[in-house]
Structure 1
Amino acid sequence: MTDYSIYRVMIENALDAFFLTKPDGTILDVNAAASSMFGYSLEEFKVIGRQGIIDIDSPGLNAFLEERRKKGKVICELIGIKKNGERFPIWVSSVIFKQDEQEEKTFTIIQDITERKRKEQELRTSEANMRMILDNTDELFIIIDRNLKVINFNKATEVKSQQLLGVPFEKGKSILDSAQPERVPLLKQLYADVLNGAVRKSVVEIPAIHGNSKVVVDIRYSPIYEDGLIVGAIINVRDITETKAKEEELLRTNERFFFAAKATNDAIWDWDIQNDKVFRVGDGLQSMFGYDKSIAAQDDTFWIQRVHPEDLDDMISKREKILYHTNELYWEDEYRFRKSDDTYAHVFDKGYIIRDANGTPVRMIGATQDVSQQKETEALLVELNNRLKRRAEELANSNIELERFAYIASHDLQEPLRMVTSFLQLLKKRYVEKLDETADQYIAFAVDGAERMKTLIMDLLDYSRVGSNTEPNENVDLNILIEEVKGVFSKTIDESKAHITVGPLPIVKGNRTQLLQLFQNLIGNAIKYQKDESPVIQISCTEQEEEYLFEIKDNGIGIDPAFHEKIFVIFHRLHSRSEYTGTGIGLAICKKIVERHNGKIWVKSMPGQGSSFFFTLGKR
């Protein structure tokens, strides 16, 4: 095979288009790649010539032709035209040669650079986009070469490097020129590692330019590869001062939250609603319900599965309504929850809802209490209240019946007593000359007994009236009322030479008849239960916030402390009838009157030292 044949085979199998032309552009020969690239056959190429495949409007075409004519060769970029009229970028290498005395010819190689141009455009677009992104971020990006010289940096570096790092950066200068001297050895080793393929990261605290605070930055060093080789490094600096401060505050908050949870018996929980994850702290889950919180955390449906089936739908419905159909910040509910021993506890669950700017719930923090004992107590109290209500109704009915009985019995008993007394007096009057002394004595005993029976019945009637009196309350001036009482006892006061002093008394709201009876009984007792000396009685009143406190003090025989409570019990007497008259009902009536006026009564006394009766009357 001749040299020509070899070259021909090589040209025919080349990927680039080969053209042999005359200076005027006539195409003499082409290879297969040329036909494939432009779509013409050799005969068609001969017809259309160079003018048919090169766009005459290609930028710089005339200059390129002139350069080839002068220099004999040219390399340039032009625009080719395919047979179908499609225009595409081409890379042209053309040379003029002359063999012996023959006519000059042109040998031209054409490459289709459409794909290359597309990639170049993509690269330019990508670089522009990357530059725009880097220039619009707050993070610092610095690019250095293998000699540690600064090649480029983004806008944030230009603006903030002094503020964040305390040093400016200049292109063409070594990155070590801006480092603190004490850090240079460390940085040299770090950059050596990075330029050998390592990625390094560090957090550095830098004193702020103004004030005593510090700037905390996160610095990342990464190698830059080109065609598989490391050609430099990129340094990324991020200001994390605020992030670190928030992290530290969050740690402190979580620590407080943890210890607060440890200090309570409640089961504390934190529900990430969007991811449906629950974080539990404290010992409440274990101590109240018998579950380990770490095991519970492994099952997202742990809690729901243990709510009583009869309560589950209602609980979920209420919770969903609060979360997604209101703007409420609190949710609470009561339901039954199954403990580890398969018994159910009544729980009170309450949570605080955290919502985003749109009001969507993102988190809820809450506590669960075991209120089983409280529920049992409430049920017991309800039962006791029902029993007490029934008992109160029974007692009220009984009291009404007793009051009616006492009232009716008192009236009915007085009639036969009057009859007995009248006939005994008639018997004594008619047979006064015929009865002996013994008979007269018997008649006297019978009359005295009838009179005492009448007195007892009258006292009983008074006692029953205290409970059944329906007279309306009125303003009662106690100063005037005491004067009435003194008028009732005027004869007794004169005979006993009693001395009664009365301090200023208020106007109270109450039943006048009962209040008159109250003071009458107490003053009467102070006069009656006396030693041989004249009675001295002092009546006073002290105003308090909600009531009036009264004291009736005497210099009488006194009362043993053992009987201070008993004297207010009906029919309880401390002396025989031969010593002091009475039925033992008077102080019981006083107690009943005071209690009906929202007060209480008591006594302070010692035998032989007189007595002080205290009682209160409510202002309302």
Structure 2
Amino acid sequence: MKSQNLIDRDFEAFFGALPGFVVVIDLQASVVAANDNFVNDQRSSREHVIGRNLLEIYPFIRPMVERVAREKVAMDDTIADGSSRRIAISYKPILKDGTVSFIVLQITDDTQATSTASPETNQLFQDLFEFNPAALVISGARDSKIKNVNASFLSLFEFDSKDELIGKTSQELKLIEHDQHRGDAIRALMEKQKVVTGEGRIRTKKGDFKWASISVILVTIDEEPCLMAVMIDITDRKNAEDKIKSINENLERTVVQKTKRVFEAELEYRSVIEQANDGIFISDSHGNYLDVNDSACKMLGYTKEELLKMNTMDVLPAEDRVSRPPNFDALMKGQAMLTTRRLQKKDGTAIPVEISARMLSNGKMLGIVRDITDRKRAEDAIQNVNAQLEVKVLQRTEELQKKIIQLQESEEKFYKAFHASSAGITITKLSDSTYADVNDAFLNMIGYSREEVINHSAADLALVVDMKHREYVLAQVREKGAVKQAEMTVRRKSGELIHVLSSIETITHNSERYAINIIYDITERKRAQEKLEAVNKELESFSYSVSHDLRAPLRSIMGYAEILQLDFGDRFDDVMKSHLNRITNSAKKMGRLIDDLLEFSRVGKLEIVKSSVETTKVVEKNIADFGLTHSTKPKFIIHELHPSFADFSMINQVWFNLISNAVKYSAKKEDPIIEIGSYRTNDEVVFFIKDNGAGFNMEFAGKLFGVFQRLHRAADFEGTGVGLALVKRIIDKHDGRIWASATVHNGATFYFALPMAKSKGK
């Protein structure tokens, strides 16, 4: 409601308690608020009073309402209402943005009134002063001291209380910029001018400046002339005016610039039109040429003077003059037209052209004409090619039909192979991991029926024991498209656990990705492997025990041989000394063999503790240590070495053995060279060490990593035949791979691959 926009609840309570009839009207005299006395006098409800035109009740107030609205000042009037009563009416305007928005009327019975205003009237004035949304200030006309301000004034000037202002002048407080005009305002009011209005800058308590609309009237309070100023904040309006002024200045500059550009554009027009490769024709509404460029003249073989005497119909072949181009009606309505036609040159030949035409704002017609003779030839050639292509398409269609038949036959073969395979095969939707199809071998493997499996996932059936590992495998499938030989433990319907080996490839069919999973039951193989591991552990334990037990008698042999050498060496002839040396050397060799066997057995029993290993540091340290203990110094070439995820002690042993092996077998070369490097695959780091030494015959490569297996004579290269076997055992414990390639007398390259570190949860 409008009254709710005008006053808040506290003011409404005060408003209702005022004496007499109090009514607030808008500039159309419609009632927007009224006190209870007025409502009761009308013998109606408030809802019926609000919105009613007050002139219907008091038609005699029209002149005063119009005057108050026009002059923006409060007025009083006393009139007879047609009975024996006389009523007093006070009109108080409420200003907003310098204009009257509402008028407050207080109507009282003045039959017994005196010339002195009633206390109620004084109270009404005071309340209207305090609650006025405009900033009001009353100051003495003689001494300029502030006598009163309302809350809106405090808010506008950002003061906290009236005490900061009352008794002081606006000049002292520096409230108004250029306050020297105050005297002029007082003189104007004294000369019977009802109100002095203007705009000025005001200064707040904090020193900020604002713009205000200021209206000043002369009032008498306690028989003293005073000035009452009404101030309304117009800062936003002034800022907007400044912006508009700036915009207008920019517009003026823009207009000047655009005018200059238009002039320049006119100068450029002739240059552009003459330089255009396409023919440009400008004609009037009847088709008479008004302007053409040089390209148009060259295209048709006429001079410019000849064309300017011609009409658009004159350059058409006779047989084409009877037809109008398509979209011609739309062209006449202002739309652009693009069409192809034939134009006749001066020599009588016709050429195909493409015409882009549009109506200009001045009623002239602009046509841009392009000679498309070459394009038409190309189109004709394309038509010939298309005809040939159609023949080829027919041939290709026949081939495709044959391939479709072959594909159908392939699908039939796949279906037969799918269901006849002894391996379990499943087809799974990657979108939701549900089984789309499975073969009988898979159903026999897990003990479920087809109905129990189709459209269900492995998770639904609780098939996979380690679901985290399964999710990791599926993630690899989605990312890489395939997984090779992933081991899993599967729970059959009966609850029995079986071990399977799974290889997965992905296909796309009808925009849906599927995983084809070939599954082998390796439960028996796992059991055999476990038995083999148990036997190997027993063998390791036995070899460890035997090697350990052989140490004591070996020490005795070495001891007695040393005693014989010390006590009787000078009495031995050469044959006896040769026998004694042979005993000593054999015992030393056997000692090394026992040490290697013990190390081989020890590695098998150790638990590996993996961490990130800086391969470069490990290799450099082994090379440095090797240089301190060996006279042979080959040239080492070190390429990029990626970090590995391994047991530090064990991987250090691997590098020591492989470097020693490379040095030993390249020592007889004149310039021994050893290269060491690495590279990454999808899930492995592959290391290699290459030498240019003796090499070996790849026919015997299968024996390379066996215990006591040697591919060279001991007389040529010393060794126990355990070093490479130890390397393979360490790599196997890391789930890695090791292999080698070589050529006899041209060196060998040993490779080993270690899995990359897996993130948590995989």
- TM-score, normalising length: structure 2: 0.32
* Higher RCO, Cα 8 Å, sep 6+: 1
TM-score normalised by structure 1 residue count: 0.39
Q: Which entry has the higher C-alpha Rg, 1 or 2? A: 1
